[in-house]
Structure 1
Amino acid sequence: MRTTMKTAGYVAALFTVLLLAGCVSSPARENSGGDVVAMPLTNTYWQLVSVAGEPVPETDRQQKPHILFLDDGRVSGFSGCNQYMGDYRVTGENLLFDSMSSTLMACPDNLTEKLLFAAFAKTVGVNLEGIELRLLGEAGEELAVFEATRMK
C-alpha cells in the first residue's frame, strides 16, 4: 500500500466529499412489507464498528473512523488517525481495493488504523444487510464491520 499523498487537489476533493456525506438520509428504510432495506454501498457514510473482530474503541475525536464509496470507483475515509483514499471495484459480491494511500500523521495509538488497512488489503468480498456493511476475506471471514450513520 502506497502511503504518499498524490496532490493537494485530491485532499480538497476528499474534504468536499466529507462535507457532502453529512447530507446522507436516514440510515435504514422499511419497504412496504416491513423488511429493512439495505443501504446503498455508494454515497453512504459508513462508520467503522469493529475490525479484526475487535470493537472500535471510543475516542474524544469528533471525527470517527469511516469509509465513503463514491459512484466513480473512488473510496475515501478516516482511519482514526489519517485520511485515506484510493480506488475500489465491485463485481457481484466481490470487492477489491486498489491504489490506497493515506496522509502520514503520527498518532500515539494507531492499532485501529493498522488493522483497518490490513483488512482493506485482504478484502475480496462484501456483504450489505440493512445498515451493516461487512468486508469479507477470501474464506468468507469478517474483516471489518461498518454501520450506516449520520455524520455528527
Structure 2
Amino acid sequence: MPLWLGACSLWPYHSAPAPIPNLPATWSGDVTCPGCVPHQQTLTLFADGSFHLRDEYPANQRRRGRESFYDIGQWSRLSGDESRLILRGGSETLRQFRLQHGGELRQLDASGADIRSIRDYVLTREKGLDPVAGPMRLLGKLSVDDTQLRFSECLTGREMTVIDGLPASVIKQYRVAQKLVNETGSAPVLASVIGVFSARLATSDEGSENASVWQVTVPRVLRFWPGEDCGIGAAAPSLPLRDTPWRVLAIANEPIKADPMAATLALRLHDDGKVSGHTGCNILRSQYRSDDSALNFDAVMITRRACMNPMAQALETTWIEVLRRTTAYRVVGSYLELLAGDRVLARLIANEMH
C-alpha cells in the first residue's frame, strides 16, 4: 500500500488556484518563439465570461509598421482542472492557459499541455486595465429603431448600444437588406463592421447600479448579409479577401503541423495591392493582382533568416512556390483557398474573427 501511494504522487497534478479576483483584469507578456519576430500578447478577462485578446507585432527594420490581430469570445475554467482556462473565440482552435498560484497565466499548446521551450510563454497580471478596445472587425446583428441603434456581437453574445450614430447611407443599406428578406421595422440584419468597444456605468433604471454597460462605436460598416445568422467557421458568411489576416492550414491537402516553437505561415493582402506574410522562417513581401476570382502574386520576396531545421526550410520553399503558382482563389466562410485552375494549392483560415 505505501508503494502504491508513492507511485500515485508521481502523476502530474495541478491544484486549482483560488477564483480569479477583481475582474476585469489584464495579463500581458512576451510570447516570441525562439528565432521568430517579436510577439507581444495582451489578454483581458471580464467578469461576464467574455475576453478580449490582442497579438501585437512591433514595427522593426523588416516589418512595415506595427500590426495587431484581435480575438474575442468567451472563457471558462475546465471542469476537473480548475487551473486551466479555455478561450473560445474566432480562431480555429481553442486557446488554453494555466492559471498559476502567483496569478500569472501560462500559455498551453492546442492539446492543453505545457509548451516545452526555452521560453516561459507567461502572461503577467498588469496593475492597470487594458480593455483591448480595438478598432477591430466584428460580426453581429445590427438593428435600428427610432430611438437607438443596437449591435449583438456573435462571439461574446454581447448586446450593445451603437454610440455616435451611423451615416444615413448605411441606414439606407440596412433598410435595403431588410427588404431583401421581407423584414421591416427594427428587425436585425447580420453585419460585418469595424468596431471600438467602450463601457459606462449603468443607471438606476437599467438594473444594477455601478454595473458595466457595453457600448460600441462603429466607424465603418463593411457589409450586410440579409437572412444570414451568426455562423462561425465554414458556416459563416464569406470574409473579404483583402485586408483579412489569413493563416495557412494545409498545402496540397497536407495539414500544417502546429509547432509552438515556430511562427505560423501567414498571408495578408492589403488594399493598396501589397502583400505581407510569413513563411515560418522569414517575413514575406509581394504584390498581387485580383479580378473577380482571379488572383496572381508578383515579385515574391523574403528576408534571409536561416530556417531552424530542414523541414521548416522545405515548408518555406513550398509555400513560396504556392504563391507563385496561384492563379485564382475561393473564399468560403472563414476559409480561403488558393487555386491553380481547379486545383487547390493551399487552404487558409482567417486569423481573427471578422
**TM-score normalised by structure 2 residue count:** 0.36
Question: Contact 1:27–1:131 (CA<8 Å) still a contact in 2?
Answer: no
Match of residue 33, structure 1, among 227, 231, 234: 227
- Give the Å deviation of 1:10: 7.1
Larger RCO: Structure 1 or Structure 2 (Cα < 8 Å, ≥ 6 residues apart)? 1
Q: The residue matched to 2:137 in structure 1 has which SS?
A: coil
Cα distance in 1 for residues equivalent to 2:269 and 2:304:
22
The equivalent residue for 2:286 is: 86
- Give the Å deviation of 1:86: 0.7
- Give the Å deviation of 1:131: 0.4
The equivalent residue for 1:133 is: 336
Deviations 1:11-35 (A, max 9, x none): 241x42xx14446425797534135
Unaligned runs of 5+ in 1: 1-8
Please state if 1:100 is matched with 2:100: no
Cα distance in 2 for residues equivalent to 1:80 and 1:62:
6
- Give the Å deviation of 1:129: 1.0
Cα distance in 2 for residues equivalent to 1:83 and 1:45:
14
Q: What one-letter code is carried by the residue in structure 2 that aligns with 1:52?
A: A
The equivalent residue for 1:53 is: 253
Cα distance in 2 for residues equivalent to 1:101 and 1:66:
14
Deviations 1:98-143 (A, max 9, x none): 01100111111222212211111110000011101000013x1000
Matched residue count: 139
Identify the structure with the greater strand proportion: 2
Cα distance in 1 for residues equivalent to 2:276 and 2:283:
7
Question: Contact 2:262–2:281 (CA<8 Å) still a contact in 1?
Answer: no
Q: The residue matched to 1:145 in structure 2 has which SS?
A: strand
Identify the structure with the greater helix proportion: 1
Q: The residue matched to 1:41 in structure 2 has which SS?
A: coil
- Give the Å deviation of 1:150: 2.2
Q: What one-letter code is carried by the residue in structure 2 that aligns with 1:11?
A: R
- Determine what percentage of the aligned residue pairs are the same residue: 26
Question: Contact 1:90–1:96 (CA<8 Å) still a contact in 2?
Answer: yes
The 10-residue stretch of structure 1 (35-44 or 127-136) with the greater mean CA deviation from structure 2: 35-44
**CA-based RMSD:** 2.4
Question: Contact 1:122–1:137 (CA<8 Å) still a contact in 2?
Answer: yes
Structure label with greater radius of gyration: 2
Cα distance in 1 for residues equivalent to 2:258 and 2:139:
21
Deviations 1:76-102 (A, max 9, x none): 101111110010010111000001100
Unaligned runs of 5+ in 2: 1-59, 71-133, 141-153, 155-189, 191-224, 230-235
Cα distance in 2 for residues equivalent to 1:94 and 1:106:
33
- Give the Å deviation of 1:61: 3.3
